[in-house]
């Protein structure tokens, strides 16, 4: 069902984490008095894309919150938003008289190059399918729209090696089918679009019935919900309904278009990176976000009325901390001096220049690893990787970033290790765009898998031999992750409460509790650590050194005959990544 602000409310799902923060807001809706349009011309289509972007931006953190696991790095909404922003930038400066077909081709191209994460890649394929049908047509009729949506679904399904129902794929397929049905019943353009959005909403609501893990977690599919928001934004534009206040729209778009990382600090320096979890009651997430945006930049605020994860950059770290205390209590507070880190990075880069891998020669095999931190980059370079690409959990690399890196390597044979399941589709899409090189995507879904694969790499071997050896090495290592639960959840036989330690192995929640040692121990047990020889703890940026030391003592006591190593890796969100091999 819909609330007054147009947000989805799923009966029976997520009682502790409502999708909408605006249930009590009485929104004024101004409907257009003009007759229903018979076609979509260039100016109208451009406005629809803008409205879709704004509507998704307004609600993308709801999409982020729809994680199956209660982990702090939900990024589906962010990836879809960044993909849509890349699509919009392709047409933002185009004149309004451009034909729809030309604009849609550019939207598809922008989304293709800016796609981030699996959800962003699938979204780019949806635009690509629609562009294939509309081609160079000057306008879109109701029949054109229906045919375009059907082709969008076919293209999206073809872009996924193993399509799964109960996802964004189901939503676009059913939306296309609804459009065809509406046209066959004689519906005009507006009626067809209304049927598309209605069916998309119903398809999202049914995703837990098609994908049991969604029902167990009490959520709907995040990518499907993101697509529904995009379609709903386009419909609201057609109907003359508002998506956001003009002043707010412009300010937020300017912020979203900034480069995430500056090359040089401002005169005042980089300032401080501040992270914390705010726990309280009746927290107003939107108000907290607005207040923090006035204090600093790179602001990320996600959560619900009971707990909010905060990240921002400020010159005075005391301001956001003092502000947050007025709302409740703070947990996992991290304050880092980014200016000091910058200077350390510059010095480290100078120190490591001599130990960098030798320049590649044409014909050699290049190895590229996606990493979440500078420390992980150094790990991979130290074991032979030729290049790394930074890919945070909430800022996955775009297809364009992959393409630029791959094209810049002076060789035509490349092995790419994504080291994250949410990066694989983007990497594959980028590889297809680099047609003059052979780019092989090694299916490393975790960082320890990537390490094992690189250890198996031999510079003297040919490409086929290396691929075989590296793929075999992927199966010799088991990986786990330990972090804090961001909400209450019960999955299979594991019950986790907000703020507790949780352990994950692959696509399973295997442990939860208040004791870090017990959760790490149970996670290792789920990884069959007894049969391994080497256990490794990759220590993240948020790990407490004293906890790590105590944890190591207990692990050595539990596994006296194992080799146990600790590696400072600096990954965000996950204090510990575990490896058993």
Work out whether strand 329-337 and strand 272-279 pair parallel, antiparallel, or are unpaired: antiparallel
Whether 42-256 shares its CATH topology with 356-474 is answered: no
Domain residue extents for the chain = 42-256, 272-342, 356-474, 479-580
Residue 242's pLDDT is what? 85
Quick one: average pLDDT of 543-549? 90
Q: Give the dihedral of Cα atoms 493, 498, 503, 508; nearest 10 deg.
A: 50
> Count of residues for the chain?
581
Quick one: average pLDDT of 225-249? 81
CATH architecture of 272-342: 2-Layer Sandwich (3.30)
CA gap 166, 408 in Å, rounded? 39
Work out whether strand 387-390 and strand 501-505 pair parallel, antiparallel, or are unpaired: unpaired
- pLDDT tens digits along 381-409: 988 899 999 875 456 888 889 999 998 89
- Mean pLDDT, all residues of the chain: 82
% of the chain with per-residue pLDDT over 70: 83
Options 1.10.287.110, 3.40.50.300, 3.40.50.510, 1.20.120.140; CATH for 356-474 is 3.40.50.510
Least confident of 55-69, 436-450, 495-509: 55-69
Quick one: average pLDDT of 365-381? 93
CATH architecture of 42-256: Alpha Horseshoe (1.25)
CB atoms within 10 A of CB 553: 11
pTM of the model: 0.68
Instruction: Quickly state the pLDDT bin for 38 (edges 50, 70, 90).
Output: confident
- pLDDT tens digits along 470-515: 999 999 999 999 999 988 888 878 999 989 999 999 889 999 999 9
Q: What is the CA radius of gyration of the chain?
A: 24
- Which residues, at least 6 apart from 152, have a Cβ–Cβ distance to it below 8 Å? 125, 126, 127, 128, 129, 130, 172, 176
Residue 259's pLDDT is what? 26
Residue 460's pLDDT is what? 86
Phi-psi region of 490 (alpha: psi -120 to 50; beta: other; left: phi over 0): beta
Residue 64's pLDDT is what? 87
- Which residues, at least 6 apart from 286, have a Cβ–Cβ distance to it below 8 Å? 21, 22
Instruction: Quickly state the pLDDT bin for 536 (edges 50, 70, 90).
Output: very high
Cβ atoms 541, 571 nearer than 8 A: yes
- pLDDT tens digits along 140-193: 999 999 999 999 999 999 988 888 999 999 999 999 999 999 999 999 999 999
């Amino acid at each position: 069902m819909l609330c007054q602000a147009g947000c989805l409310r799923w009966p029976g799902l997520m009682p502790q984490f409502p999708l909408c923060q605006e249930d009590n807001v009485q929104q004024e809706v101004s409907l257009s008095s003009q007759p229903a349009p018979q076609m979509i011309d260039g100016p109208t289509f451009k406005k629809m894309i803008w409205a879709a972007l704004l509507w998704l931006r307004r609600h993308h953190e709801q999409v982020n919150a729809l994680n199956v696991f209660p982990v702090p790095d939900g990024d589906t909404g962010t990836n879809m938003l960044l993909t849509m922003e890349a699509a919009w930038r392709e047409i933002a400066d185009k004149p309004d008289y451009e034909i729809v077909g030309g604009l849609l081709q550019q939207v598809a191209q922008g989304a293709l190059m800016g796609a981030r994460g699996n959800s962003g890649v699938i979204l780019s394929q949806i635009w690509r399918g629609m562009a294939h049908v509309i081609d160079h047509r000057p306008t879109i009729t109701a029949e054109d729209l229906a045919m375009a949506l059907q082709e969008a679904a076919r293209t999206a399904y073809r872009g996924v090696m193993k399509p799964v129902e109960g996802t964004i794929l189901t939503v676009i397929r059913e939306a296309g089918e609804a459009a065809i049905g509406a046209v066959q019943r004689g519906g005009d353009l507006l009626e067809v679009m209304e049927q598309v959005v209605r069916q998309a909403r119903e398809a999202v609501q049914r995703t837990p019935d098609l994908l049991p893990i969604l029902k167990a977690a009490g959520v709907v599919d995040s990518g499907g919900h993101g697509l529904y928001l995009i379609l709903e934004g386009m419909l609201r534009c057609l109907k003359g309904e508002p998506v956001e206040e003009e002043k707010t729209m412009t300010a937020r778009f300017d912020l979203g278009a900034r480069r995430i990382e500056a090359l040089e600090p401002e005169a005042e320096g980089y300032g401080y990176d501040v992270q914390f979890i705010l726990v309280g009651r009746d927290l107003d997430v939107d108000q907290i976000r607005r207040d923090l945006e006035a204090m600093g930049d790179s602001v990320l605020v996600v959560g619900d009325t009971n707990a909010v994860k905060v990240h921002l950059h400020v010159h005075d770290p005391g301001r956001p901390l003092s502000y947050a205390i007025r709302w409740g209590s703070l947990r996992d507070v991290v304050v880092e001096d980014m200016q000091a880190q910058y200077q350390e990075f510059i010095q480290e880069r100078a120190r490591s220049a001599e130990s960098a891998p030798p320049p590649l020669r044409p014909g050699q095999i290049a190895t590229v690893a996606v990493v979440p931190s500078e420390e992980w980059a150094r790990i991979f370079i130290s074991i032979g990787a030729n290049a790394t690409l930074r890919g945070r959990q909430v800022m996955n690399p775009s297809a364009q970033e992959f393409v630029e890196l791959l094209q810049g390597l002076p060789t035509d044979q490349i092995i790419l290790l994504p080291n994250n399941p949410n990066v694989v589709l983007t990497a594959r899409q980028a590889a297809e765009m680099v047609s003059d090189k052979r780019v092989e995507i090694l299916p490393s879904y975790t960082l320890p898998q990537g390490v094992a694969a690189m250890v198996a790499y031999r510079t003297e071997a040919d490409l086929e031999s290396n691929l075989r050896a590296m793929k075999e090495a992927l199966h010799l290592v088991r990986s786990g992750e330990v972090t804090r639960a961001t909400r209450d959840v019960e999955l299979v036989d594991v019950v986790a409460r907000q703020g507790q330690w949780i352990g994950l192995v692959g696509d399973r929640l295997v442990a939860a509790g208040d004791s870090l040692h017990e959760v790490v121990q149970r996670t290792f047990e789920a990884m069959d650590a007894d049969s391994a020889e080497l256990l490794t703890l990759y220590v993240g940026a948020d790990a407490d050194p004293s906890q790590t030391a105590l944890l190591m003592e207990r692990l050595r006591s539990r596994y006296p005959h194992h080799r146990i190593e600790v590696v400072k890796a600096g990954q965000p969100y996950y204090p510990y990544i575990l490896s058993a091999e």
